[in-house]
Structure 1
Amino acid sequence: MVPSIQRHCRPKERPMADSCPILIASDLSDASEVAVTRAMQLAARRGCPLTALHVIQEEPLWWVVKSRDLDPDDLRAELLREALAGLQSQLKDAAGQLAIEPPESDAQARLGKPAAVASEMAASMEASLIVVGAHGRHAVRDWFIGTTAEKVVRAGNVPVLVARVEPTHSYQKVVVAVDFSESSRAALAAALAWAPRAQFTLVHAYETWFETYLDADTYERLRDEQEQALHDRLREFAHEVGVNSDHEPDYRIIAGHPGTAVVDAAVNAHGDLTVCGTQGETGLRHLLLGSVAQHILRESKGDVLTVRAGHTTG
């Protein structure tokens, strides 16, 4: 059994939410403070219970134990207590920053591998969302072996929100990558659920032909026809998922690499959230994540929400 410590924080006269639990995977860094604040903002708006989790990796502890002749159990207990205090402080600071009554929440500290423990807890609590910071205490190491955020995305089936930007307001401009796959269908549905009042931009990128084999007029005509057909398909797709005809998104059909097109579109639209599926229609994958999703995770300037195919937003 994985050692753990937890503490519940239940505000008085506030009914417990019975759906959409949110899990925060915090490494207690400055980056995770952004994630805690964003998660609390979302939880307060939707009435979701909130759990903050910190996972301590045991491997480095043994060097300390052997070199200083410390008792391993005492060291574990002290580290867990310190982590729990840190989580409680982050939750309190987030509520103060947002100037809100905090939602139903608890803090938990455990030993193990962060991505694996977070995924297991998310499954056990039937979380609707995992929120993590973009960079933690080991940014240089993560550059080579993959960030904790990417590992959490790969580890489970729960949507993962990677928070980068200080949440001064709710999401206002959301960019969604659409390749007409089931994962992008789930991604759009999740975006509509978590940011229902935002202005949406839907982006579909397509590969170009070798225009050198065509004369300029023919190439331009065929490209215009293809883009119009894709625009119509994108609009139909959006309405099938649940976009309201009274609030049409901005539809963008862009020639080029999907990851680059989506990141650039988010910059041009001043987007504060980019949403994508983690498996595309082409079946191309990179370590179970997907090259497009990985590019968006690593290159986006704002927050990123990733959603797996088959996920149903509550």
Structure 2
Amino acid sequence: MLAAREDAELLVVHAFPRLSALEAAFGLDDRLPNRLRAAAEANIDALAEAAQTAAAGRVRAEIAEGSAHRAVADASETFHPDLVVIGAHGRGALRGSFLAARPRAFSSAACPVLVARQPAEADYRRALAAVDLGPRSAAVMRAALVVASRAQVTMVHAYQAPFEAKLRHKGVPEEVILRYAEAESRTARSNIDALLADPALARRDIERRIVHGDPNPALPTAIGELHADLIVVGKHSGSRIGEAVMGSVSRFLAYYAPCDVLVV
């Protein structure tokens, strides 16, 4: 659907397991690889045909032997995509290898990666752009406005007092922690004002949502409350601390968010 809307070329790639992986999963059977290969070819041809039916004009499909991560990386090197789309999970006995490939796809991709959980039956209606207000926040917002161009976009930022969990663990009074958190809230609101003053964003109707709490529980809660069908999040924020925080958040959402996840 995105390829059709943007008049983009679409490459459909299927990672076909090596013989050793098939033997480990199913045992020795000389006929099995050929049967599975034929099934894979039929499935990928059906996907390409469905994409053309959905008005994607330039579609081609290919089967790559090896891991899902390697297949995505190799295809990206030759195809130079603007966006990589992967399914939220694999099927059957080889599901584990597919899940293991997902974080590698995030770290190695030179472009945004969309983890698709739902069938693409319509344009996104409600999108969340999760920002940490670091260097990649503007890129997260721009990606949300492109991929979810027909959706209501809400910027969401989860904040905490510095070292809030440690302060609470050491018995620091809650009113003191909340005072620190309120200072973070004021800073966040000021930074959000500056971010949305960007001419590319100022012309758009973007809602704001600032919540106190850890991003991992706060963002799924926001998804549920706003009935979002897409959340956009940064891969990392540039700093070591930011990369550890937002990197873990993007991985958490990719595995557990109830909607599609776009990692920028």
More helix by share: 2
Give the structure 2 partner of residue 312 of structure 1. none
What's 1:174 paired with?
127
Counterpart of 2:202 in 1: which secondary structure? coil
Gaps of 5+ in 2: none
Distance (whole Å) between structure 2 residues aligned to residue 65 and residue 291 of structure 1: 34
Aligned to 1:229: 187
**Offset at 1:69?**
5.5
Alignment of 1:116 with 2:70, yes or no, is yes
The residue aligned with 1:106 is 60
CA distance in 1 between counterparts of 2:30 and 2:221 reads: 54
User: Tell me, which stretches of 5 or more residues in structure 1 are unaligned?
Assistant: 1-40, 308-314
User: Which residue is 2:102 aligned to?
Assistant: 149
Tell me the percent identity: 26
The match for 1:89 is 46
- Alignment match, 1:297: 254
* TM-score between the two structures when normalised by the length of structure 2: 0.82
Matched residue SS, 1:181: coil
What is the CA distance between 1:182 and its match in structure 2? 2.7
Cα distance in 2 for residues equivalent to 1:263 and 1:241: 29
Offset, 1:220: 6.1
Separation in 2 of the partners of 1:297 and 1:65? Answer: 29
Match of residue 270 from structure 1: 227
Greater shift in the superposed pair: 189-198 or 104-113: 189-198
Instruction: Confirm or deny: 8 A CA contact 1:50 1:105 kept in the other structure.
Output: yes
Asked whether the 8 Å contact 2:230–2:260 carries over to 1, the reply is yes
**Greater shift in the superposed pair: 276-285 or 206-215:** 206-215
Counterpart Cα distance in 2 of 1:80 and 1:141: 17
**Contact 1:129 1:160 (C-alpha < 8 Å) held by counterparts:** yes
Bigger mean CA deviation after superposition, 102-111 or 56-65: 56-65
Give TM-score, length-normalised by structure 1: 0.70
Equivalence map 1:1-314=2 (5 Å): 41-58=1-18, 59-61=20-22, 67-68=28-29, 75=33, 79-94=36-51, 96=53, 100-138=54-92, 142=96, 146-208=99-161, 209=164, 210=167, 213=172, 216=175, 223-240=181-198, 242-245=200-203, 247-284=204-241, 285=243, 290-307=247-264
| Contact 1:84-1:107 at 8 Å conserved across structures | no
Distance 1:50 1:215, change over 3 A: closer
Q: Which amino acid aligns with 1:190?
A: A
Root-mean-square deviation (CA), in Å?
3.3
- Contact 1:263 / 1:300 at 8 angstroms: preserved in 2? yes
For 1:283 and 1:118, locate their aligned partners in 2 and report how far apart those are by CA, in whole Å. 27
Query: Take 1:275 and 1:178, find their aligned partners in 2: how far apart are those partners?
Result: 9
